[in-house]
Amino acid sequence: MSALVYLPLGGADEIGMNMYLYGYGPRDNRRWIMVDCGIGFPDAAHAPGVEIMTPDPAFIAAESDRLDGIFITHAHEDHIGAVGRLWGRFKAPIYCTKFPAAIARRKLDEFGVSPKNLNVVDQNTPVKVGDFSVSFFPMTHSIPETSALVIDTPLGRIFHTADFKIDDSPAFGDPMDRDAMRKMAEEGVLAIACDSTNVFEPGFAGTEDTIKQPLRDVIAGSKGKVAATTFASNVARLKTLAEAARDSGRAVVVAGRAMQRMIEAAVQTGIMTDFPETITEDEARDIPDDHLFYLVTGSQGESRAAMARIAGDSHPSVHLKAGDTAIFSSKTIPGNETEVSRIYNLLAERGIRVVDDSMADIHVSGHAPRGELEEVYSLLKPKYAIPMHGERRHLHEHAVMAPSWGAEAAFVVPNGSMLQIAPGEPKIVDDVDTGRLYADGNQLIGAMDGVVRSRRKMGMNGHIAVSVILDDNGDLVVESDARVTGAPEESKDWTGEIEGVIAEAVDGAIEKLKAKDRRDDDKVEEAIRRAARSTASRLWGKKPETVVMLTRLD
């Protein structure tokens, strides 16, 4: 019996690293398509030293010969970011429209994947792969050319919204085509897989238009230099900001490669035709402060981005001083508050005025709040709702709301759960292993492999290395040696250096072992480790990670 199933591997337990699978066929011979292949950003406290994570795609990597296509809805990193990094595990054709393709090409190139694997398709033109027929349906969002996917299968139609908001006067492209959606409703929509990001927000997000005047007011009311930050990928916002600056008689400098690349991609693909003229950072030197405007990266407080460097006055070319203004035309993503407020404080300390969306209406969200979600449900009239693109609490809230918007039933399907959508009543039919991969140095490692866990432990409790040399009988050849990293060396609470006290305790523990045990490496190492850690704990009150190097001389 053929069934239609939905299986999220990422994105349905977090806002980030989206990766959704749809499968069709008999259980033992299902064919798959993947929707999106994104990255996430782990927080530094949880995964020190890791800046990028991806879903663990082991499930679909093991059946990659049954994966018929990878569909990318739009060019945000949480949807496209892993397409180069993970492609080697799937080796399936990629499908997307022109603008995301411009971004994907660079990501494939970075990992040596041939651009031949990338198929550029037009919106509203069905792509047939196996039993699936998939159309890219234009939606409005905070990056150009975002598409929902209309996925037709022998068992019914799924509308996968991707990320969207309803913007009736978008900076690029057309407003959402309500007539086409009404027509889809007449034909029947079996299920909607729907963005849950703003499910807790009432009302409507508002169009990009509404922030133009407030932004002009802020910029016109600023003295000295102005630097504004937003997401590099929010091309519409970059244009809104640049136009507001131009209208206030300021020359626009785009500082930061990520932003320059996005603007270039939008111009090269013909999406953006009228971005205000910009000048280089060099040319800016000859222009008076009152006539300068910088567009910079770093709206989320990223430590290596331009805004953080400007705040610390370590940017190579952009220098703000007391009386200048920094504009955050963005929303702080949950989890980034600490970093962002650190930047605010650095700026404040130097007398630089900070303006954000709490002080002026200079940001609109790219995700649909309740009013817009309800409108999409009422246009499409889906039978079933599958909330996605959210943390667990967003998915649950969305599932609670969906029936009031007309859905017959809603299903919370977290990462790794397989929902059989049809035939029959939808139900969870399987659970597969999922998780996260961390990009660590040049390796992709499993989040549960222990690498980052032991690094975190070292970060919290320090590290002891003990070197012990024994003869065949298990007698000490020389006194043992200990090295401690990340611990106080001396204190009035103990005599001598902590390393010496630990080494002595280790020697004492070895001497206390029975002669037979002293010839057993495992027993000796365990005794050493225990002595080192309990000594550190007794003196300092912490138990560092401990490494034992045991040498036997014969």
Instruction: Give the nearest distance from C-beta 400 to Zn ion in angstroms.
Output: 22
Residue 18 token pair: 């989206």
Query: Helix, strand, coil shares of the chain as percentages rounded to 5?
Result: 35, 25, 40
CB atoms under 10 Å from CB of 488, counted, come to 14
Instruction: Give the nearest distance from C-beta 162 to Zn ion in angstroms.
Output: 7
Instruction: Give the nearest distance from C-beta 196 to Zn ion in angstroms.
Output: 11
Give dist(CA 349, CA 455) in Å, integer. 34
Give dist(CA 493, CA 112) in Å, integer. 58
Q: How many CA atoms lie within 13 A of 433 on its CB side?
A: 10
Instruction: Give the nearest distance from C-beta 78 to Zn ion in angstroms.
Output: 4
Q: Which residue of 4, 56, 75, 76 would you call a contact of Zn ion, by CB under 5 A?
A: 76
With binding defined as CB under 5 A, does residue 243 bind Zn ion? no
Binding flags for Zn ion, 157-196, as an x/- string (CB under 5 A): ------x---------------------------------
> Dihedral angle at the C-alpha atoms of 208, 213, 219, 221, nearest 10 degrees?
-160
With binding defined as CB under 5 A, does residue 77 bind Zn ion? no
User: Cα-flanking dihedrals φ and ψ of residue 321, to 5°?
Assistant: -135, 180
Give the burial string for 178-201 (b: 16+ CB within 10 Å, else e).
eeebeebeeeebbbbbbbbbbbeb
- Contact status, residue 159 vs residue 379, Cβ threshold 8 Å: no
Start-to-end Cα distance in the chain = 69
Binding flags for Zn ion, 144-163, as an x/- string (CB under 5 A): -------------------x
Instruction: Give the nearest distance from C-beta 141 to Zn ion in angstroms.
Output: 5
- Contact status, residue 153 vs residue 186, Cβ threshold 8 Å: no
DSSP character at residue 209: G
Residue 234 or 461 with smaller CB distance to Zn ion: 234
Residue 15 or 355 with smaller CB distance to Zn ion: 15
Q: Measuring CA to CA, which residue among 244, 243, 251, 234 is closest to residue 214?
A: 244
Site for Zn ion in 494-513 (CB under 5 A): none
Provide the H-helix boundaries in 8-57. none
Instruction: Give the nearest distance from C-beta 373 to Zn ion in angstroms.
Output: 15
Instruction: Give the nearest distance from C-beta 88 to Zn ion in angstroms.
Output: 24
Of 68-76, 209-217, 237-245, 368-376, which part binds Zn ion (CB under 5 A)?
A: 68-76
Of 78-86, 108-116, 233-241, 345-353, which part binds Zn ion (CB under 5 A)?
A: 78-86
- Contact status, residue 300 vs residue 340, Cβ threshold 8 Å: yes
> Dihedral angle at the C-alpha atoms of 367, 368, 370, 375, nearest 10 degrees?
-170
Site for Zn ion in 87-106 (CB under 5 A): none
Write the single-letter amino acid at 56.
D
Three-state DSSP class for 57? coil
Instruction: Give the nearest distance from C-beta 366 to Zn ion in angstroms.
Output: 6
Of 72-80, 306-314, 416-424, 446-454, which part binds Zn ion (CB under 5 A)?
A: 72-80
Give dist(CA 361, CA 208) in Å, integer. 11
Of 76-84, 314-322, 372-380, 472-480, which part binds Zn ion (CB under 5 A)?
A: 76-84
Of 75-83, 117-125, 488-496, 522-530, which part binds Zn ion (CB under 5 A)?
A: 75-83
Residue 343 token pair: 């930047």
Give dist(CA 299, CA 309) in Å, integer. 12
Q: Measuring CA to CA, which residue among 65, 41, 114, 55 is closest to residue 86?
A: 55
Of 70-78, 374-382, 393-401, 525-533, which part binds Zn ion (CB under 5 A)?
A: 70-78
Count of residues that interact with Zn ion, criterion CB under 5 A: 3
| DSSP assignment string, 447-500 | TTSSHHHHHHHHHHH-EEEEEEEEETTS-BSS--EEEEESS-S--TTSSS-HHH
Instruction: Give the nearest distance from C-beta 104 to Zn ion in angstroms.
Output: 15
Instruction: Give the nearest distance from C-beta 197 to Zn ion in angstroms.
Output: 7
Instruction: Give the nearest distance from C-beta 4 to Zn ion in angstroms.
Output: 24
Instruction: Give the nearest distance from C-beta 288 to Zn ion in angstroms.
Output: 38
Residue 78 or 356 with smaller CB distance to Zn ion: 78
With binding defined as CB under 5 A, does residue 78 bind Zn ion? yes
The dihedral through the CA atoms of 103, 104, 105, 111 has a sign that is: positive
Residue 397 or 545 with smaller CB distance to Zn ion: 397
Residue 145 or 163 with smaller CB distance to Zn ion: 163
Q: Measuring CA to CA, which residue among 79, 103, 270 is closest to residue 164?
A: 79
Of 48-56, 74-82, 198-206, 245-253, which part binds Zn ion (CB under 5 A)?
A: 74-82
Instruction: Give the nearest distance from C-beta 96 to Zn ion in angstroms.
Output: 13
Give the burial string for 291-319 (b: 16+ CB within 10 Å, else e).
ebbbbbbbbbbbeebbbbbbbeeebeebe
Site for Zn ion in 293-312 (CB under 5 A): none
Q: Given the rule CB under 5 A, which residues bind Zn ion?
A: 76, 78, 163
